[in-house]
Structure 1
Amino acid sequence: MLLAAIAALLLQSAPTSDPCAYDRGAMLALSPEAFDQDLEGGWRSLSDTPDCREAAADLLAAFRTAHWGELTPGELHINYWHEGQLRASLDQRLRAKRLLLAGVNPAITSDGFQDYALGTVAFLDNDREALQAARDRLAATPPPDDWAETVASFREQYGVEVKWPMNLNVLDNMLACFGRSYDEAYEGCKAP
């Protein structure tokens, strides 16, 4: 009896060989802010391991389901968007496109995000003309009045400088890397 208890205890504390293992209960118990915006925790800690992107995408869907009715529209849209990005990374294009479009908050039209989303979907559809049109519309989007405050907030919170229009560089990368994988295009590749 004592040996069985010791063996069970050792098995519980033994490190797992699964690089995608995580504490599901703890993840689902996180606040939406901690789950999504902590760059070293939440779903991002799982997605940083390339072989765990599908597990991270599934975790995003599970979080959305577990917190349905509690998430603000903004939190819901960003959850869909991030799952869509992971599905695109996994070359699950049809699924990714649906999620990416669900990630667009129709109440916000002044930030250019809709054009970024439409450009991303055009890339996944291999529609260079639509991608170029979305990129051009995004480039013409004027900055919001509070842009200077947004830049300062990003710098303080994440240590990153952001440029207007946001995500224009991603659509430029998609044009330069047209026909390649989502990951190559998102990160930026050299034109062939």
Structure 2
Amino acid sequence: MEPRYEALELGFQEFDQSEAGWRGVAREGCYLEAANLISNYKQANLDDLGLESTSRLEWHEGQMRAYAGDYSAAINLFRATFDTRESGTADRHYAEATIAFLQHDRAALQAARDELADLPPPEGFEAAIERFERLYPDHPVPTWPLNLNVVDKLVRCFGATYEAAYSGQCASVNAISD
């Protein structure tokens, strides 16, 4: 597959959220290429990206590396996002659960899942949902706690590949009880 140099010129939102950026590459099943494209985008646009945007790109690069089976690199990228994922937040519990899954640590995965499930919605969550619906009318509306559905798939698919678990396409023989 040819390098996608034109994607490096996209604005952050288009690169991160549209098929013109890394998602189009990932949808073709080219996870390592998608991860490398994200990494190259970060380098090419370093001066224009803030901490939050860089963190989102690191998370997505980590996901693509995990999809490609490079769990060590994925874990390092996920940990790099901790600067923007405050301890005790839904984002942090999601990151901790994902790392625990990749490390094959069932107890830590369950603990992170339980902590995530117990979080009350933050102030302003309903307003954020309304804004999301306006900005992304074609996307499913998030529910609280964010990413609990993903973490539940990681729990149900413990022992499967990240790709299989994230998609929920696995046998649930390793389910952990709530």
**Contact kept in structure 2, 1:84 and 1:99, CA below 8 Å:** yes
- 2:44 aligns with 66
Give the CA deviation at 1:182. Answer: 0.3
Give the CA deviation at 1:154. Answer: 2.7
- 2:167 aligns with 187
**Contact kept in structure 1, 2:55 and 2:84, CA below 8 Å:** no
Larger radius of gyration: 1
Aligned pair partner of 1:42 in 21, 24, 29: 21
Q: CA RMSD in A?
A: 1.6
- 1:102 aligns with 80
TM-score, normalised via structure 1 length: 0.82
Determine whether 1:166 maps to 2:111: no
Determine whether 1:175 maps to 2:165: no
Q: Mean Cα displacement is larger for which, 151-160 or 57-66?
A: 151-160
1:28 partner amino acid? L
Q: Give SS of 1:142's match.
A: coil
Distance 2:85 2:152 in 1: 26
**Contact kept in structure 1, 2:97 and 2:110, CA below 8 Å:** yes
Give the CA deviation at 1:47. Answer: 0.9
Give the CA deviation at 1:183. Answer: 0.9
Distance 2:59 2:3 in 1: 22
Distance 2:88 2:155 in 1: 23
- 1:9 aligns with none
Once the two structures are superposed, what CA deviation does each residue of 1:11-42 show, in whole Å capped at 9, x if it has no partner? xxxxxxxxx33541x2111111111122x221
Give the CA deviation at 1:159. Answer: 3.1
Q: How many residues align?
A: 170
**CA pair 160-107 structure 1, distance change in 2 beyond 3 A:** closer
**CA pair 110-129 structure 1, distance change in 2 beyond 3 A:** closer
2:28 partner amino acid? T
Compare relative contact order (CA 8 Å, sep 6+) and give the higher one, 1 or 2.
2
**Contact kept in structure 2, 1:81 and 1:104, CA below 8 Å:** no
